[in-house]
Amino acid sequence: MLSGVDHDVPDGIGMARLAWTRLPTADGEEAGPSTSAAADYELLSAAAIESLDYEVIENYAYREEQAQRSKFWVPYYVMLKWLFSLLIGVGTGLAAIFINLAVENFSGWKYTATFAIIKHSYFVGFFVYTVFNLALVFSSVYIVTNFAPAAAGSGIPEIKGYLNGVDTPGILLLRTLVGKIFGSIGSVGGGLALGKEGPLVHTGACIASLLGQGGSAKYHLNSRWVRIFESDRDRRDLVTCGCAAGVAAAFRAPVGGVLFALEEVTSWWRSHLMWRVFFTSAVVAVVVRSAMNWCNSGKCGHFGAGGFIIWDISGGQEDYSYQELFPMAIIGVIGGLLGALFNQLTLYITKWRRTYLHKKGKRVQIFEACLISLVTSTISFVLPLLRKCSPCPQLETNSGIECPHPPGTDGNFVNFYCSKDREYNDLATIFFNTQDDAIRNLFSAKTFHEYSAQSLITFLVMFYSLAVVTFGTAVPAGQFVPGIMIGSTYGRLVGMFVVKFYKKLNIEEGTYALLGAASFLGGSMRMTVSLCVIMVEITNNLQLLPLIMLVLLVSKAVGDFFNEGLYEEQARLRGIPLLDSRPKQVMRNMTAKDACKNQKVVCLPRVSRIVDIVSVLRTNKHNGFPVVDRGQNGEPLVIGLILRSHLLVLLQAKVDFQNSPFPCGPGVLNRHNFSDFVKPASSKGKSIDDIHLTEDELGLYLDLAPFLNPSPYIVPEDMSLAKVYNLFRQLGLRHIFVVPRPSRVVGLITRKDLLLEEHSNNVMAELQSTSG
Ligand code: ATP
Ligand code: MG
């Protein structure tokens, strides 16, 4: 009953290549939105979301290609996959370095200038700081709204959808990649309450997809020689590698990257893929390390000692006692509650934005982002002015006194609006600083009570509100860093109380800040294993592993009680029809027939008149049509499924039109030149209205048999819908035929029949006995 192959070996080039080349999201600029406004893009993309073809279409061309392949094809193909994994790793690593380099330098210039000016006038300093931030945010929102609407947000819900089998137009285009990189620099450098980690995952996916398709056809930056992985299936693997590379680059956490891809973004996973993803992440780690070593010598401006700070957090308490488990579980509960609240608030605000704000066009979106930038700059500058400074602490680790550093450099204790030199402003240390330094400061285990509870609460409330409001603006935005900052603030607060209660224990507030960060991310994103490993990789402290596990489990459980994870909620809101890993309970009591009740199936005859095909395509929106022929006794016989996209390519190419209303013989098929027929033109996003046919052509015929999928997946009508769901989801299908109970059984296939060695021995023995 089931057909199709779950290969790790190549797909067919012929029609399978055709399937890709018309369908790519990545390159078919035509597939992208025709409008430049992000608002229109949101509406367009929800309507244009379409499934991907992960199934191998084993049509005539595919079988021809398979037969012609030499025995070296498989090793060649596998080797190329590894080469591409390497290239994805290098590309994503370099993109991450570029983004960090730019962000650190912009922030460095901003804080150097502001601090030089506030020695003379705080008002002018505030003005310069605000204008600097505004200019960066404006550049980001301008790029996104005018040039790359798909680059807004983190991109993770869309990539998750892509790997689940649905294609959002424009998410993997070259301009989206460029928009994402430069947009992130503007939005993160401009001090908004968002991060660059989510966008880096999207960046990795774009790089992977563009490499797989050999560049961008629209900008004439492509090469046929690199275009090897053209099927949606192959690209799915490459995009998975790209996602892992993004996380590996963002946190310098290679294993975390692999697990993130496995746990959060992919829907299908194979052991072969695991190896390649692992390799890509390792490559990223090496590339990033080399760049850091080079920049640490001061060759990269402000990027160097202060750059990539988020990755260099080490220390934390060496051990923990059992009494601490209770407050740590409380951190988990707070994380679950605040994370679920964050998801709910962002959901409401995004809905509201879509309905009232973003419809009004890109000017409103630009104005909105700029307004949020102004508010963020004002809050982060003015609130620390209201705090009193404290004397620099005497450090235990070195005998001297830790003196204030300007923000944006390596160190904590920012001297801002203090009357004396050897003082620091605790709120400015976390608020008036680059994100990476702020996190490092919050995680810091150097001193006790470095921050007052009042400052921490002020920061928590203000930053949480800013993160909620900033989420959903038309700029590239990740939620990892805001999540870490929010979580580490209340974690540190809890830590301060624990220190008071358990005076005798060796407790460090920084450790609690780390647990708080893990708990908020767990409560909002609902990841467990990958987050846990990322946290351990960031801190280099294996001792903390059980504690991080504990808070993650608690926060996820609490969050799950209220709502879905952030990415699932956002995917649903964007109209991305994600299929969960499990069917709904009600599906157990439904049958396949129930799911397609009242459906009048639109079929095509094997040899169809062009005018009929055009009329079917015009009057229906369906993407697949059963093809019916006549059996030997004249009874109707379903011979396969033809995709709308294939029909469009056939109609556009016109080379297969025939005068005769009868099937063409096999001789004709053998003479047919498929490589001429396979055109790299994309038909995705194209409609039947784009194809112009003359009256004469409309009267001709087309034999669909060579182009259809002769072995679509078929289920009997009384199969439970839950079973159909599992089949559909696990095999990544696009269509399933529902048929009546068959009248006879040709054979049974069991495990042993699929063990090819035994099977081929039996076949050989049988052949020998018949020939003998
Ligand atoms: P895709 O992303 O592939 O477009 P879809 O769910 O939007 O997926 P469509 O092909 O647009 O699928 O079909 C929409 C609805 O029409 C579904 O309920 C499907 O069962 C039904 N349908 C699809 N193909 C046919 C057909 N050939 N005849 C009758 N009904 C069909
Ligand atoms: Mg559809």
Q: What is this model's ipTM? A: 0.97
Joined together, the tokens standing for residue 767 give 């052949």
pLDDT value, residue 12: 34
* Sign (positive or negative) of CA dihedral 640, 644, 650, 654: positive
Contact 177, 221 (CB under 8 A): no
Top-confidence residue, 206 or 403: 206
Distance of CA 618 from the midpoint of ligand 1 (Å)? 14
Mean pLDDT lowest among 299-303, 428-432, 547-551, 717-721:
299-303
Atom nearest to 644 CA in ligand 1: 10
List the one residue out of 514, 491, 700, 512 whose CA is nearest residue 607. 700
* Contact indicator for 467, 486 with CB cutoff of 8 Å: yes
The string of DSSP letters for 623-660 reads SEEEEEEE-TTS-EEEEEEEEHHHHHHHHHH-TT-BS-
What is the per-residue pLDDT across 467-526, written as a single tens digit (0 to 9) for each?
Answer: 999 999 999 999 999 999 999 999 999 999 888 888 767 778 888 999 999 999 999 999
**In this model, does residue 312 exceed pLDDT 70?**
no
d(CA 410, CA 421): 18
Determine which residue's CA is closest to atom 25 belonging to ligand 1.
Answer: 622
> Which residue blocks in 309-425 are alpha helix, DSSP H?
325-352, 362-385
Mean pLDDT of all residues belonging to the chain: 84
Cβ neighbours of residue 403 under 8 Å, at least 6 residues apart?
A: 392, 413, 415, 421, 422
| Residues 58, 210: Cα–Cα separation, whole Å | 26
Contacts 24+ apart (CB under 8 A), 123-130: 126/377, 126/378, 126/381, 126/382, 129/377, 129/381, 130/374, 130/377, 130/378, 130/381
Residue 446: Cβ within 10 Å count: 18
For the stretch 251-295, pLDDT in tens is 889 999 999 999 999 998 888 899 999 999 999 999 998 888 888
CB 191 within 8 A of CB 109: no
For residue 625, the ligand 1 atom closest to its alpha carbon is 27
Rounded to whole angstroms, the Cα distance separating 485 from 460 reads 8
Residues 550, 325: contact at Cβ < 8 Å? yes
The size of the chain, in residues, is 772
pLDDT at 392 over 90: no
- Tell me the one-letter amino acid at 169: P
Which residues on adjacent β-strands are paired with residue 625? 642
Query: Given a cut of 90, is residue 230 above it in pLDDT?
Result: no
The CB of 577 under 6 Å from ligand 1? The reply is no
- Label each residue of 136-152 as H, E or C: HHHHHHHHHHHCCHHHC
Q: Separation of 212 CA from ligand 2 center, angstroms? A: 25
Which atom of ligand 1 is the closest one to the Cα of 603? 27
> What's the whole-model pTM score?
0.88
Q: Please, which pLDDT band fits residue 133 given cuts at 50, 70 and 90? A: very high
Query: Exposed/middle/buried for 600, CB within 10 Å: 0-12, 13-18, 19+?
Result: exposed
- Ligand 1 atom nearest the C-alpha of 596 is 20
Q: At 560, is the pLDDT very low, low, confident or very high (cuts 50, 70, 90)?
A: very high
As to burial, measured by CB atoms within 10 angstroms (0-12 exposed, 13-18 middle, 19+ buried), residue 10 is: buried
pLDDT digits over 357-386, tens only?
Answer: 888 888 999 999 999 999 999 999 999 999
51: Cβ below 6 Å to ligand 1?
yes
Closest-approaching ligand to the CA atom of 168: 1
